[in-house]
Amino acid sequence: MSVLQRQKKKKSILPGFGLSLGFTMFYASILVLFPLSMIFLNTASMGWSEFIKTVTDPRVVASYKLSFGAAFAAGIINVIFGTIIAWVLVRYHFPGKRFIDGLVDLPFALPTAVAGIALTTLYVPKGWLGQLFTFKIAFTPIGIIIALTFIGLPFVVRMVQPVLQNFNAEIEEASASLGARRMQTFRKVIFPELVPAVLTGFSLSFARALGEYGSVVFIAGNMPMKTEITPLIIMTKLEQYDYAGATAIASVMLVVSFFLLLLINIIQWWTNRKFVHS
């Protein structure tokens, strides 16, 4: 993805360096860099003790725990089922496979609010799926995990799928011909190759889930201390015109996002180094 292989190139003879550099920097700075720096500027003007008080408020801390916990759980579910789905789509043949393959991207294409109300309707106590359970799903952390699983599913499938597709069958054959049983081949030969893709898929779906708002607000129930995710706290503070409070919490989320982005890049860099020798 973002870590491009550094290649030593001769000076390019192609035109447009100055123009494209100027335009790209201008556009990205005006729309991304400058607006995002406002978060840190405003937080800096807030005063340290006030900042700490806001971001360690018990209600806010409860929301961190919920957001992290639910995003982590959803990421793990997606790693398990996303890998199985990728495996089945690449290795097995069954009717309607192409259709199902195309369907995997639905969470990317469907507006989050639409997904949110659909999942809520399914999992409320009287809904099609909700009535099958003796405990509540919608308006509990389980509901949040379900929404986040929906949102993150394509990330893992789409990361693992190409690795399986490009996997060298001869290595598997070699492993088998040396006497490995199928499970051994999977554990010792195939699985290690999948690890970077699985990790990247997990981090991407985790990062997305942390900030997710649209699909979660409907199913979460939004009870303070219980089912209130961090983005919702920011939203609530904004509605109360508490801009300073909203900004302080946003700065904490931003730092976490930067860290995750760095982590994803490190995994990618590590993968490229490991597998691509020029």
- Residue whose CB is less far from other proteins, 121 or 136: 121
- In the list 51, 64, 150, 202, the residue contacting other proteins (rule: CB under 8 A) is 150
Scanning residues 170 to 209, which ones bind other proteins (CB under 8 A)? 170-174, 176-177, 179-182, 185, 193, 207-208
Size of the site for other proteins (CB under 8 A): 107
Instruction: Tell which residue, 152, 126, 125, has the closest CA to residue 139.
Output: 125
| Smallest separation, CB 165 to other proteins (Å) | 10
CB atoms within 10 A of CB 110: 15
Instruction: Tell which residue, 41, 66, 62, 78, has the closest CA to residue 254.
Output: 41
Site string for other proteins, 27-56 (x = CB under 8 A): xx--xxxxxx-xx--x--------------
Q: How far is CA 45 from CA 40, 51, 236, 247, in A?
A: 9, 10, 21, 11
- In the list 21, 44, 195, 266, the residue contacting other proteins (rule: CB under 8 A) is 21
Are the CB atoms for 137 and 143 separated by under 8 Å? yes
Say which amino acid occupies 42: N
| Smallest separation, CB 17 to other proteins (Å) | 5
In eight-state DSSP terms, residue 4 is P
| Smallest separation, CB 226 to other proteins (Å) | 20
| Smallest separation, CB 207 to other proteins (Å) | 5
Give the number of residues written for the chain: 278
- In the list 213, 222, 226, 242, the residue contacting other proteins (rule: CB under 8 A) is 213
Measured in whole angstroms, the distance separating CA 26 from the mean position of its chain's CA atoms is 28
Scanning residues 227 to 256, which ones bind other proteins (CB under 8 A)? 230-232, 234-235, 238, 243, 246-247, 250, 253-254
Query: Binding segment for other proteins among 47-55, 57-65, 161-169, 220-228 (CB under 8 A)?
Result: 161-169
- In the list 62, 76, 90, 110, the residue contacting other proteins (rule: CB under 8 A) is 110
CB atoms within 10 A of CB 1: 12
Under the criterion CB under 8 A, does residue 102 sit at the interface with other proteins?
A: yes
Q: Quick one: 129 exposed, middle or buried, by C-beta within 10 A (0-12, 13-18, 19+)?
A: middle
| Smallest separation, CB 71 to other proteins (Å) | 11
Rounded-to-integer distance, Cα 196 and Cα 212, Å = 24
Are the CB atoms for 139 and 219 separated by under 8 Å? yes
